[in-house]
Amino acid sequence: MGAYLPLFVALPLLAGFACLLLKRAAPRAAPWLSVASMLGLLALAAVAVARRDAGVTFAGGWGVSGWGGNGGADDVVFVVGIALVLDGLSRLFLLLVALVGTASAVYALRYLEPEAGRPLFHVLFNLLVAGMNGALLAGDLFNLYVFVEVASIASYGLVAYRTGGTEIEAAFKYLVLGTLASTAILVGVTVLYAATGYLNMADLGVAIAGGAVPRLPLLFAAALFLFGFGTKTAAMPFHAWLPDAHPSAPAPISAMLSGLLIKTLGIYALARVFFVVVGADEQVRLILTLLGCLSMWGGVLLAQAQDDLKRILAYHSVSQMGYVLIAFGVGTWLGVAAGLFHAVNHALFKSALFLSSGSLERLTGTRRLSEMGGIFRRAPATSVGLVGACLSIAGIPPFNGFWSKLLILIALVSAGQPVVALLAAGAALMTLVTFVKVQRKAVFGALPARLANAREVPAAMYLPVLALVVLCLLSGLLWPLGVDGVIGAAASSLRAGAGERPAASEYIESVHGRGSR
Amino acid sequence: MTFYALTFALLGVGLYGLLAKRNMLKKVLGLVILEYAVNLLLVAVGYRAGRGAPILQPGEDPAAFVAGSVDPLPQVLVLTSIVIGLGATMLLMAMVLRLHQRYGTLDVDRMDRLKG
């Protein structure tokens, strides 16, 4: 078991390099290679989730023979390699990356058709996915850092892809802040290594829970990780890059960045590092709650002043990540599960929204809400997709956004944090107001005269959006089934049962107990 | 201890250059200094005073080897970190070039067309 784990990284890497190699011979193959690699990942992730696989594999495993022995295969003492760990949490996120990745790759087939001869987009796209999958599977802190950098550098390139002045400025800002964050993460890793001699996250978790790191270095490392991964999440004081970077990228990439990147490099890494390695004690959880409240309200308030549809969506990503952070701040099993459920839902509806924004831009020639209107008659499929995604993010039942926000509120109230719950409910109301406005201005109302001849976008552009909206609806209707099997398994990997055990025992067991020697 | 203090001072210099300077080239230099300060920190963490290079000679006693050499792992990490830093710096320089061609200036305050 677990022998297929390296494929999650290798498949998109190979597809990416194949795009470059085939540049001359088959310049139009690149978009289809992306779709094929995403479908392959989807199949792999579906198998992993369906079989509930868990375990460790050592990529490039290389047996170390006992010193002084004969050095033969029978003399192997331990295996050295890159530890890739699959558990409930990484399974969930791998599936999510594959789902949103497939939707974005299919969307890009027609959206990027005018630039089909330039395979660079697909090289970076596959590199982005390889980096995210690697970060999800990395079993040690240093490889987590490396894969975070792989995904980040691919995303810097994709933000600058249009090479206009604004895009490169946004990418410059994103790169400077992103590299600063990565450097902070690396210093944190160094501090923990200096104190314990471990890089493996499970070993570190056990050592730190056993008091191997003195209080001051531990706090220093925790602060660095909070800044580093907080910046990757775009939590409020560290959010400045996101509202420029996400709208500057082409629509399928905005969907990947807002839907996936801030979750795999941000939310997932925060959860893994704080619940497994450093330990989420009361102070850490308080800081997560504070950051969450700030992001939730700051993002939603700043979004009110915007007219550019993509900037509105970008500020709402900051706001929605705030919900996930306050749910993690609760720290109970229910809180973690609700937070992860919301992260999954946000990935589905925010990528649908960003893909819709690309279709709207194609239809109307503008991203300004005030210049749109009444496209329902002209483009019913795009409109249905946009309205469905708006209802999901606004938290209208039976869409998924309602259930995850409700679960977060329940987790907050049952943990005795009614004030935070009130703040969350207020921010949810503000979100509703924004997206009612978005719908009214974009989809309904009077059709401006210059749009009288607007034509519906190709099916390859509206079908991925509709598929994501159907997933939003399914995830809203079937969540009692999914919470137990998929989301619950992910939360159990971080928090044992309803109890308050500090170490994530299931993760550590899956690394230590069932290693594939 | 002095060495660690100096490394952190270098980190501070890099951070200052990155955040406080308005000239893009100086920001890039700040970033490079920051990255090398971290690499220095990593090597310092693996250093053991008075020990040799971690190269196992044929027939050498393993216990004596472990006791007599510095920690090789941080050196491996530094190699990876240098490569990543190189990639990020190259990308950053390419962007600086493009921005300079477009705006004819290196001052970030004079090109800010992005509205908050």
**Rounded percentage of chain A residues whose pLDDT exceeds 70:** 91
A45-54, A89-98, A135-144: lowest mean pLDDT where? A45-54
A194 and chain B: CB distance < 8 Å anywhere? yes
Q: Identify the residue with better confidence: A133 or A496.
A: A133
Q: Identify the residue with better confidence: B69 or A98.
A: A98
pLDDT in tens, A228-243: 999 999 998 899 899 9
Domain tally, chain A: 1
pLDDT value at position A504?
53
A195 and chain B: CB distance < 8 Å anywhere? no
How large is the average pLDDT for residues B6-10?
Answer: 92
Q: Which domain holds residue A402?
A: 5-60+78-511
A66 in a structural domain: no
Q: Which residues pair with A78 in a beta bridge?
A: A64
Contact check, Cβ <8 Å, B113/A168: no
Q: Which residues pair with A308 in a beta bridge?
A: A368
How large is the average pLDDT for residues A23-35?
Answer: 85
Contact check, Cβ <8 Å, A160/B112: no
| Residue A445 amino acid letter | G
Confidence of residue A326 (pLDDT cuts 50, 70, 90): very high
A160 in a structural domain: yes
Confidence of residue A67 (pLDDT cuts 50, 70, 90): low
Confidence of residue A501 (pLDDT cuts 50, 70, 90): very low
A68 in a structural domain: no
pLDDT value at position A74?
56
A90 in a structural domain: yes
**pLDDT value at A1 more than 70:** no
Confidence of residue A503 (pLDDT cuts 50, 70, 90): very low
Instruction: For chains A and B, count residue pairs whose Cβ atoms are closer than 8 Å.
Output: 79
How large is the average pLDDT for residues A19-40?
Answer: 88
Provide residues of B within 8 Å CB-CB of chain A. Answer: 11, 15, 18, 24, 27, 31, 34-35, 38, 41-42, 45, 62, 73-74, 77, 80-81, 84, 87-88, 91-92, 95-96, 98-99, 102-103, 111-114, 116
A225 in a structural domain: yes
User: Mean pLDDT over all residues of chain A?
Assistant: 86
Contacts of residue A90, defined as CB under 8 A and 6 or more positions apart, other chains included, come to: A136, A137, A268
Which one, of A244, A262, A229, lies nearest residue A159 by Cα? A244
Residues in chain B: 116
**pLDDT value at A500 more than 60:** no
A413 in a structural domain: yes
**Rounded percentage of chain A residues whose pLDDT exceeds 90:** 49
How large is the average pLDDT for residues A412-429?
Answer: 91
pLDDT value at position A11?
94
**pLDDT value at B91 more than 90:** yes
Contact check, Cβ <8 Å, A169/B42: no
A65 in a structural domain: no
SS3 at position A86: strand
Residues of A in contact with B103 (CB under 8 A): 165
User: What CA–CA distances, in Å, run from A429 to A342, B71, B75?
Assistant: 16, 55, 52
- The CA distance from A198 to the nearest CA of chain B, in Å, is 10
pLDDT in tens, A293-307: 999 999 999 998 888
| Residue A462 amino acid letter | Y
Largest Cα span, chain A: 85
pLDDT value at position A318?
94
Do the beta carbons of residue A288 and residue A325 sit within 8 Å?
Answer: yes
A113 and chain B: CB distance < 8 Å anywhere? no
pLDDT value at position A25?
82
**pLDDT value at A333 more than 70:** yes
**pLDDT value at A338 more than 80:** yes
Domains parsed from chain B with CATH numbers = 2-49+67-110 (1.10.287.3510)
**pLDDT value at A35 more than 90:** yes
Structure tokens at B78: 């530094």
**pLDDT value at A372 more than 90:** no
* Residue-by-residue DSSP string for A132-187: HHHHHHB-BHHHHHHHHHHHHHHHHHHHTTT--HHHHHHHHHHHHHHHHHHHHHHH
**pLDDT value at A466 more than 80:** yes
Do the beta carbons of residue A421 and residue A409 sit within 8 Å?
Answer: yes
Q: Which residue of B has its CA nearest to A67?
A: B62
**pLDDT value at A60 more than 80:** no
- The CA distance from A334 to the nearest CA of chain B, in Å, is 36
Contact check, Cβ <8 Å, A168/B88: no
Residues of B in contact with A193 (CB under 8 A): 45, 73-74
Residues of A in contact with B80 (CB under 8 A): 142, 146
**pLDDT value at A517 more than 50:** no
User: What CA–CA distances, in Å, run from A4 to A1, A48, A88, A514, B22?
Assistant: 8, 10, 16, 16, 48
pLDDT value at position A502?
40
A517 in a structural domain: no
Residue in B28, B43, B77 to test binding to A, most A beta-carbons within 10 Å: B77
Confidence of residue A325 (pLDDT cuts 50, 70, 90): very high
Q: Which residue of B has its CA nearest to A150?
A: B84
Confidence of residue A380 (pLDDT cuts 50, 70, 90): confident
SS3 at position A56: strand
DSSP, res A449: G
pLDDT value at position A37?
95
Q: What is the ipTM of this complex?
A: 0.93
A1-5, A227-231, A251-255, A346-350: lowest mean pLDDT where? A1-5
